[in-house]
Amino acid sequence: MKMLAIESTCDETAAAVVENFGEGVRVINSVVASSVEMHEKYGGIVPEVAAREQIKSIIPVITEAMNGENIDAVAVSYGPGLMGSLLVGVESAKVLAWVWKKPLLKVNHMAAHVMANWIVEKTQKIENSKTQSTGVPKLPAVGLVVSGGHTDLILMESLTKWTWIGGTRDDAAGEAFDKAARILGLPYPGGPEIDRAANKVTNEEWDKYKNLFKLPRPLIHDPRLEMSFSGIKAAVARMVENRSQFSEANPQISEESFRNLVAREFSQAVSEVLVKKTMLAVEQFKPKSVLLAGGVAANKKLRETLRQEIAMAGLSFFVPELKYCGDNAAMVGASALLRPEESEMDLRPDPSLAVV
């Protein structure tokens, strides 16, 4: 079965054609247009601007993704996300499904992030500490979904039976990255900027100065699968406020090094909390695999740390290729093919849809 999938929940306009491939999904075409630069000068997303850009991009993006393919159904993300942005994708999908007389499938955007782990491509690396097997995740699995608006731990007993088992009580992990970046004077979106800054610190520099850059790890010793990230961000703000005193005491640390060192400690603190809570879920639910997904899954520290911990626990670890971590439509198609939810033609966006 071949699926046209459409994604327009936030500031990316994306379309893809995907098809079943073994137990997974193969991507035929995937196109992503982003309005992120337009939001940079405001330090965050301006919903009206995002919606206007969605309208401009949607037809060219779908046309490019279709590229003459014949499809059997149309899938679209209908939430969570921004109402104005969501409407563009949902209405386009409805019109296409109606005109082409094809089924319309509705997709939960957060579930789609998780389903990106079923995209099977030659280049995809699938790590298994024992067998180095390739294929799709074995269930039951624990999923950690980390994006700009959500941070959730889920237990996946089958492709359709998912239970929410934990998450953040305040900021989402991606939101914390974006806010911390803003405090550090880095552009929006902050996650990739902090990641880059953090990776500029050499191990030697880190060993020398790490004691000067301690940030909290909220709730890390709490046995519940509950997380909190707003405190780490507040501690970054205090560090930056006290910067001049810090410079007097440590004149050898340049402004740029200061920023990179804070970024490294911040990435480390957020990753440690996420990894600790995921490992708690592993102990509790004894899954066969652990899946990482969402925009923050692109973070180097997080990918590496979680991969190592999961390998030590003898489980399989899955994380999408970088291009399928952030918002894209291939993941939407994967979700529609493997856990289809057919929709009526009166589908409406649901901006506050939860992952399960």
Site for Zn ion in 318-337 (CB under 5 A): 327
Query: By the 8 A CB rule, do 111 and 162 touch?
Result: yes
The smaller minimum CB distance to ligand KG4, of residues 137 and 149, is found at 149
Pairing of strands 316-318, 289-293: parallel
Residue placing its CB nearer to ligand KG4 in the complex, 71 or 188: 188
Q: Figure out which of the listed residues 189, 320, 333, 349 binds ligand KG4, where binding follows CB under 6 A.
A: 189
> Residue 139 — φ and ψ, nearest 5°?
-105, 155
Minimum Å gap between C-beta 151 and Zn ion is 12
Q: Which of 254, 108, 86, 259 is nearest to 184 (CA)?
A: 259
Stretch in the footprint of ligand KG4 (CB under 6 A) among 159-167, 236-244, 292-300, 304-312? 292-300
| The dihedral formed by the CA atoms of 202, 208, 211 and 215, expressed in degrees to the nearest 10 | -10
DSSP state letters, 152-214: EEEEESSSS-EEEEEEESSS-HHHHHHHHHHHTTPPSSHHHHHHHHHTTS-HHHHHHHGGG--
Residue 7 sits in the site that holds Zn ion (CB under 5 A)? no
Q: Is 184 in the site for ligand KG4 (CB under 6 A)?
A: no
Query: Which of the listed partners (ligand KG4, Zn ion, none) does 189 bind, with a CB threshold of 5 to 8 Å by partner kind?
Result: ligand KG4
CB contact set of 182 (below 8 Å; sequence gap of 6+): 43, 44, 188, 190
Contact call for residue 190 and ligand KG4 (CB under 6 A): yes
Residue number with CB closer to ligand KG4 (74 or 355): 355
Interface with ligand KG4 (CB under 6 A), residue from 296, 331, 336, 337: 296
We find the least distance from the C-beta atom of residue 36 to ligand KG4, in angstroms, to be 10
Q: Which is nearer to ligand KG4, 97 or 143 (CB)?
A: 143
> CA dihedral defined by 271, 247, 200, 191, rounded to 10 degrees?
40
Given 319, 327, 339, 349, the residue binding ligand KG4 (CB under 6 A):
327
Stretch near Zn ion under the rule CB under 5 A, chosen from 146-154, 197-205, 275-283, 308-316: 146-154
Nearest to 149 by CA among 80, 195, 234: 80
Task: Answer yes or no whether residue 10 interacts with ligand KG4 by CB under 6 A.
Answer: yes
Q: Which does 183 bind (CB under 5 to 8 A by kind): Zn ion, ligand KG4, none?
A: none
Convert residues 103-142 into a mask of x (bound to Zn ion by CB under 5 A) and - (unbound). Answer: ----------------------------------------
Q: 209-216 long-range CB contacts below 8 Å, 24 or more apart?
A: 209/253, 209/261, 210/261, 210/265, 212/246, 212/250, 212/261, 213/239, 213/261, 213/262, 213/264, 213/265, 214/265, 215/239, 215/265, 215/266, 215/269, 216/269
Among 32, 82, 97, 298, binds ligand KG4 (CB under 6 A): 298
> Is 281 one of the binding residues for ligand KG4 (CB under 6 A)?
no
Spatial distance between the Cα atoms of 54 and 9, rounded to a whole number of angstroms? 9
Q: By CB under 5 A, name the one of 13, 147, 289, 335 that touches Zn ion.
A: 147
What residues line the site for Zn ion (CB under 5 A)? 147, 327
What residues line the site for ligand KG4 (CB under 6 A)? 10, 113, 147-149, 174, 177-178, 189-192, 195, 294-296, 298-299, 326-327
